[in-house]
Amino acid sequence: MIKEGMIIEGRFWPEPVEVKKVEEFPACAGRGERIHIIGATIYSNIHVDQLIPKEEIACLCRQEKLKTREFVLDFSAPGSEAFLS
């Protein structure tokens, strides 16, 4: 599923989005569960604040139309291997 710090791509946005915050809302008032995504597009830095039905996201994940990438920094290399100019 979608987690904070991930980069996601899908039909909801014109370019990849970096997820800053994710909230899940339970079903209420005849509506199903929903996911609130807050983030920004990675190229143009446009703010994203959307409430999307959880079923729709799950369906897109099954069809592989919602791509996710985790942005992981690895600082395990020795400092002497870093190129500084």
What pLDDT sits at residue 54? 86
Name the pTM for this structure. 0.70
| pLDDT tens over the chain, length 85 residues | 788 888 888 888 899 999 999 999 888 777 788 999 999 999 999 999 999 888 887 777 666 677 777 666 677 878 777 776 6
* Category of 7 on φ-ψ map: left (φ > 0), alpha (ψ -120 to 50) or beta: beta
Q: Which two tokens stand for residue 39?
A: 């983030």
Fold annotation for 6-67:
SH3 type barrels. (2.30.30)
d(CA 27, CA 50) in angstroms, rounded, equals 17
Of 6, 17, 70, whose CA–CA distance to 43 is shortest?
17
Which helix (H) or strand (E) covers residue 58, if one does?
Answer: helix 54-62
Asked whether 4 and 21 are in contact (CB, 8 A), the reply is yes
Taking phi over 0 as left and psi of -120 to 50 as alpha, with beta for the rest, 12 belongs to alpha
